[in-house]
Structure 1
Amino acid sequence: MKVKFYGVRGSLPVCGREFERYGGNTTCIRIYRENAHRIAIIDAGTGIRNLGKEIINNGITQNIINIFFSHFHWDHIQGLPFFAPAYNKDQRIGILAMGRREKITNLKEIFSMQMQKEYFPIGLETMGAQFEFIAYGNKEQLYGAIVTAAPQHHLSPGGSYGFRVEDEAVTLAVCTDAEHMDGVIDQNIVNLARGADLLIHDGQYTAEEYKKFRGWGHSSYEHAVAVAIKANVKKLIITHHDPDHNDDFLDSMEYECQKLFPNSIFAKEGMEVLVG
């Protein structure tokens, strides 16, 4: 299994020379399952635009491209109208919400609303691709992989969901937009990440910043480290970087993080990682 980051920024995209090394696009992660020669996508922030271009330019084909959504805040869905494969009439695209079966009555409406004519010139129904909207339960076997979802504390209707993907004898856990309330580590997230080869975890704040932004639905990198240690994961990647944190600041955060958990890095756009 390989993971590639196309967007690692939280809240809103940023640009400027001081953000070039880590990147300014919002959350989008591609998972490539080598045994199935299949990609899946987590979240459709602005980073999905470059992923879509890559899919087209490299001639990547599969009958359905599945996009798993941790939640539906703007920074995690705003790239979908710019996803090139969505304009291919022969392409099926799965819009998947894990853990939300019987909790979401109209998943399609969430995405149709952001593409109303007042906001975007092309409606969801006229993009061209064949969209399939599915709200799954907490654990599913999808295309040979076992995907488990766990609820997380976040300021969103229904919160957000973390994912655990087990495939090719390796395990990936992705927990973005998650808060450990008042600094108490969420045991649900620890259980989800237990023994993972790679944990990708929200680390938007420093410990001092978290004191100011308690209740906003995000973690400090220290919280992410605590999860990694409690869950005995092999590698930790911090993502969902604050838009006010430039490259130099993120370098300093990464340095401090590695003192606590040596096998940890901060995500950068374009970074590809082999899991396991």
Structure 2
Amino acid sequence: MTFWGVRGSIACAGPETARYGGNTACVEVRCGPHRLILDAGTGIRPLGRVLAAEPPAPLDILFSHTHLDHVVGLPFFAPAMMPGRPVALWAGHLLPGLTLEGALRRLMAPPLFPVPVEVLAADLAFHDFLAGAVLRPRPGIVVRTAPLPHPDGATGYRIEHAGRAVAYVTDLEHRPGAIDRTVVELVQGADLMIYDATYDDAEFAGRVGWGHSTWQEALRIADAASVGQVALFHHDPGRDDAAMDAIAGAARRRRPGTLVAREGMTLAF
């Protein structure tokens, strides 16, 4: 798996964020010959350039939710513009009142965007489901899902393939002093948990209702669920590389082996 975008809220490219990266959420997970993509933030654009240069193959994009920072890269994703290329798009937070296709049509519409969804010439397949469902997007891959507490809703994913499990849990707000049992169940025993670590515990009190969690809560969840390794993710755009280094050091002291996700970081399981 490779991290192509690790920031939350808004892209923040610049010299002060060069080492950790400034693109918003996008993670590529390779399961044998199959590729799953988690979210379509601005990081999906460089991923698309790589994929466009390779032989075309079906792709699945799993959306945690449809806030702007997690979908804004899709209109710039080169494989989505390749006629006939199969691209399946999945979302578990919009039913019953809304759909993923409807949300993307609102995004790519005047006066906010100059061209409609139809410019995406790939063979798009939209799959709306209710978070909690078990998905089987490709042979040999099981994706378990769970609802996450976030404004407008969000979905957490657990990808299982060849005896390994990676959990993707971003854009959720925890309750201090109460471990979220839904999240613990989703990530239980995962080899890797990618978790929303936008804030730290000291900042969190001033950001209640904003829909995000802390790096300390990531480690509490990991301990409660016997997670193998943690990758802190969805970094606050206001944190420069020095601030991220400080969090990385503190997190490793608290739980050795903890990673702070960086653009371009590739992990193999």
TM-score by shorter chain over 0.5: yes
Partner deviation per Cα, 1:20-44 (whole Å, 9 max, x = no partner): 000000000000012xx11110100
What's the counterpart of residue 182 of structure 1? Answer: 176
Instruction: Look up the SS of the partner of 1:185 in the other structure.
Output: coil
Measured after TM superposition, the shift of residue 214 of structure 1 is 1.8
What's the counterpart of residue 129 of structure 2? Answer: 136
TM-score, length-scaled by structure 1: 0.93
Whether 1:42 aligns to 2:38 is yes
**C-alpha contact (below 8 Å) 2:12/2:22 kept by paired residues:** yes
Partner deviation per Cα, 1:99-126 (whole Å, 9 max, x = no partner): 66x5354321100111113222221013
Q: For residues 164 and 94 of structure 1, what CA distance do their matches in structure 2 show? A: 18
What's the counterpart of residue 123 of structure 1? Answer: 116
Measured after TM superposition, the shift of residue 199 of structure 1 is 0.6
**C-alpha contact (below 8 Å) 1:99/1:150 kept by paired residues:** no
Cα 1:28–1:60 change in 2 (3 A) is: farther
Whichever residue aligns with residue 31 of structure 2, its letter is R
What's the counterpart of residue 78 of structure 1? Answer: 72
Alignment partner for residue 20 of structure 2, among 19, 22, 34?
22
Aligned length: 266
Cα 1:228–1:135 change in 2 (3 A) is: same
Alignment partner for residue 257 of structure 1, among 245, 251, 254?
251
Alignment partner for residue 152 of structure 1, among 148, 151, 156?
148
RMSD across aligned C-alpha pairs, in angstroms? 1.3
Aligned ranges 1:148-227 → 2 under 5 Å: 148-155=144-151, 157=152, 159-227=153-221
TM-score, length-scaled by structure 2: 0.95
Partner deviation per Cα, 1:187-233 (whole Å, 9 max, x = no partner): 10011000000111010111111111122111110000001000001
What's the counterpart of residue 271 of structure 1? Answer: 265
Cα 1:9–1:96 change in 2 (3 A) is: same
Whichever residue aligns with residue 52 of structure 1, its letter is G
What's the counterpart of residue 56 of structure 1? Answer: 52
Whichever residue aligns with residue 127 of structure 1, its letter is L
Q: For residues 166 and 17 of structure 1, what CA distance do their matches in structure 2 show? A: 37
Whichever residue aligns with residue 80 of structure 1, its letter is L
Q: For residues 86 and 204 of structure 1, what CA distance do their matches in structure 2 show? A: 29
Alignment partner for residue 107 of structure 1, among 100, 104, 118?
100
What's the counterpart of residue 11 of structure 2? Answer: 13
Give 4+ residue runs of structure 1 displaced > 6 Å after superposition.
none
Whichever residue aligns with residue 119 of structure 1, its letter is L
What are structure 1's unaligned runs of at least 5 residues?
Answer: none
**C-alpha contact (below 8 Å) 1:163/1:175 kept by paired residues:** yes
Q: For residues 20 and 49 of structure 1, what CA distance do their matches in structure 2 show? A: 17
What are structure 2's unaligned runs of at least 5 residues?
Answer: none
Instruction: Look up the SS of the partner of 1:29 in the other structure.
Output: strand
Deviates most, 213-222 or 239-248:
213-222
Measured after TM superposition, the shift of residue 140 of structure 1 is 2.0
What's the counterpart of residue 93 of structure 1? Answer: 87
Instruction: Look up the SS of the partner of 1:237 in the other structure.
Output: strand
**C-alpha contact (below 8 Å) 1:10/1:243 kept by paired residues:** yes
Q: For residues 208 and 99 of structure 2, what CA distance do their matches in structure 1 show? A: 31
**C-alpha contact (below 8 Å) 2:99/2:128 kept by paired residues:** no
Whichever residue aligns with residue 212 of structure 2, its letter is H
Deviates most, 132-141 or 217-226:
132-141
Matched-pair identity in %:
36
Instruction: Look up the SS of the partner of 1:227 in the other structure.
Output: helix
